[in-house]
Every structure is written in C-alpha cells, then in structure tokens.
Amino acid sequence: MSLIPDDRLAELSRGELTRYSRHLLLPEVGLEGQMRLKAAKVLIVGAGGLGAPLALYLAAAGVGTLGIVDYDLVESSNLQRQVIFGNRDLERPKTAAAADRLKGLNPDLRINAYNLRLTSRNALQIVSEYDVVADGTDNFPTRYLVGDACVFLDKPNVYASIFQFEGQATVFWASRGPCYRCLYPSPPPPGLVPSCGEGGVMGVLPGILGTIQAAEVIKLIVGGGAPLIGRLHLLDVWLMRSAEVRLDKDPACPVCGASPSIRELVDYEQFCGLKDTREEEIPSVTALELKSRLEGGDRVQVIDIREPHERSLFSFKGAVPVPFGQLVRRKDEFDPEVDLVFICKIGQRSLYAIRALRDAGYGGPMYNLKDGVNAWAREVEHGAAVY
C-alpha cells in the first residue's frame, strides 16, 4: 500500500518519461509508481553524512518535494563523507548548499530549505506537511523529538544511525509497528556515547546507510516490497557483516503503547540529560586563560579525558591522561587542593566528566576548557591540527 493516494498522482512530462525510464521498466515501480514519487513530499532531518546521499538519491529518483532541516554551516571536516557538498560550499549554510546541488541534479525538484533547529515548538507544524520523514540526525534529543512527532502525526520515520564502522537502519511507524521509543525507551547517560565528531566515522558508512534509507523511502511511496518495519538492519563495514534483528512494538511504550503517558512534545534536551537543572554553574577557562595560568605557575593540573587514539592526533603537553570511563573510580588520585582543568576535543565531554565527578562526591575545584583542545590548537599552538 502506497503512502500517496490515487487522487494525488502527478502526470509525467515527455522529458520525465525519458529521465526515469529505468524505473518505468521495473514492474514494481512502473508509470504509476513514478507518478507517486513525483507527488510525494519527504522531509529529511539533517543534511550531514546520512542526509547527503539520502537527498541525492531521492532527488535523482524523482521525489517531487524535499524538505531539508539543518542549521549548520559546511565545514572542511564534513567533506570526508557529506558528498553533497564541495570546497566551494565551505562556510555556507548546509541547507542552501544542498538546495543548489539538488537543483543542479534535478531542476524539476521542489526544495523547502529550513535553516533552523528542529524543536518542540516547530516540529509538528513542519512534519505535518510531509508524507514521510527520514531521520539523518546525530544526536539523541532530535531523534526522540522526530520519533515522537511522527507518532503523534502518524508519519513513517525512516531511521538510520552510524558510528565509526557500524550502522543501523529501520522504519518506525507506530500505527503499523514499533516507534523509536519502543527500541530506545530512554537515552544513554550524557557523555557515554560520543558523537561521530568525537568518535570518528568511516566516510563510506553514511553513504551506505543513507542509500538504504532512500530505498526504504521509495518503497513506502511506491508501495510494495518489504519495508524495514519491525526489523532493524545492522551493518559493520569493517568486517563487512550484516544482520537483522526483529523489533516488536512495546505495549507499555509511553508514546505509542496501549496507555500512553506522553501525549505532547517535551523538552528533549532536558529529557536526554543535556540540561543541568542544578543551580551551580560549571566554571570554564578559555585556551588563553589556561595558557596564562600555566605559564604563571598556578596550581593547575590538566586532565585529558580523551581516548588514546585521540591523544595521538593532538598531544597536550603536561596533561594527565584519564579516559572518561575511568574518572570516577580514579577520583582519589586527584588533589583537591589543586585546580583541575578537564579537556576533550570540543569541551562537551569534559562538562559531563565534571558533573560525573561532582555526583561521585569529589569536592575539589574543577574547570572546563572551553571549546576543548581544538580551541587550544587555534588560539595557542598556532598551526597545530584541529581534528
């Protein structure tokens, strides 16, 4: 059964008949399926590693309207995997750069570019305008937001996620199977699961998972095939192994279960533990302030919570290496009479590290290096690698 009703079928021009002839030759797609693709509206949340191939293949396939939500600018580190962008797009909004590339690929495409952050205030309005949502995000608050919005609006959520060499993909659709919360009832503790920006990712991996998402979107629009509803596809590209796990709907799910307790969008930053609701602020120091304190002989000890492979990319001279996972059990090694300055790549995991030590009862003075070792590389060790 197709998402697109018969009364929305869009006629194809002679040029489109030629352009999509390889689809038209497939009995499972054919003329009617291509007309459904032209009539369809797909929202892509995130124009990054997953969103880039997803958008390109949906545009090439003839999906009539694509919405793209993202608020980032194109950075050099994106180009290793976000193949929709090039060097000329650096420092441009991702939505604008993606729109230009997609229009160049398919000038008949209609693109709605949302250069904004998807939030509880705007998600329902935006999602309601589309037939299907494809989640290409890389953070838990937005994944829960997209998942809940799709449940409330009865939209299929074509989901994928990636990390290092591994990825997973499925289709969440609460009226026909499980939703995102059926698989992940609660988020992991803050800092436990690093992002791709902190843990790395093999460049081709999001290309593979993004095209899987595109295939799932096309099947839902055309109708037929076997969508990944109730099935989680797992892939390890380093070992080149794949597997599939059955997903069942959770009858006690707080959003799509028999007696849901969540009936509206919530504050997802707070839900995922990314908002510290306690009154105390975590003090921070800038790279230049830390440099001044170290050169001035202050009683300061730098604690590097990065993993060994990260420290090999940038070594902070004089820092004591204590990986994040070892901090709490090694807290007695720290001198409470000395100011501890915690460092990581961008200054995010080090915030979680300080909170974890506070919760474990450590009472000494602790500071966060604002923007992490990348700020130190830019502002102090000029010419050092920013990774």
Q: Which residues are catalytic?
A: 196, 344
What's the rounded Cα separation, in Å, for the pair 336 and 286? 21
Distance CA 145, CA 184 (A): 13
Question: Who contacts 215 (Cβ-Cβ below 8 Å, separation ≥6)?
Answer: none
Give the chain's length. Answer: 387
Q: Which residues contact 193 (CB under 8 A, 6 or more apart)?
A: 140, 163
SS3 assignment, position 55 = helix
Q: Give bridge partners of residue 5 from the DSSP assignment.
A: none
If residue 35 lies in a helix (H) or strand (E), which one and from where to where?
helix 30-39
**In the numeric block, which tokens belong to residue 295?**
């050169």
Query: How many Cβ atoms sit within 10 Å of the Cβ of residue 104?
Result: 10
DSSP secondary structure string for all residues of 182-211: HH-SSPPPTTTS--HHHH-B-THHHHHHHH
Sheet containing 41-45: order of strands: 110-114, 65-69, 41-45, 132-135, 157-163, 166-172, 231-236, 241-246
Q: d(Cα 10, Cα 39) in Å, to the nearest integer?
A: 5
Instruction: Enter the DSSP assignment of 242.
Output: E
Joined tokens for residue 250: 């959770």
* Helices 51-61, 94-105: crossing angle, 10 deg rounding: 30
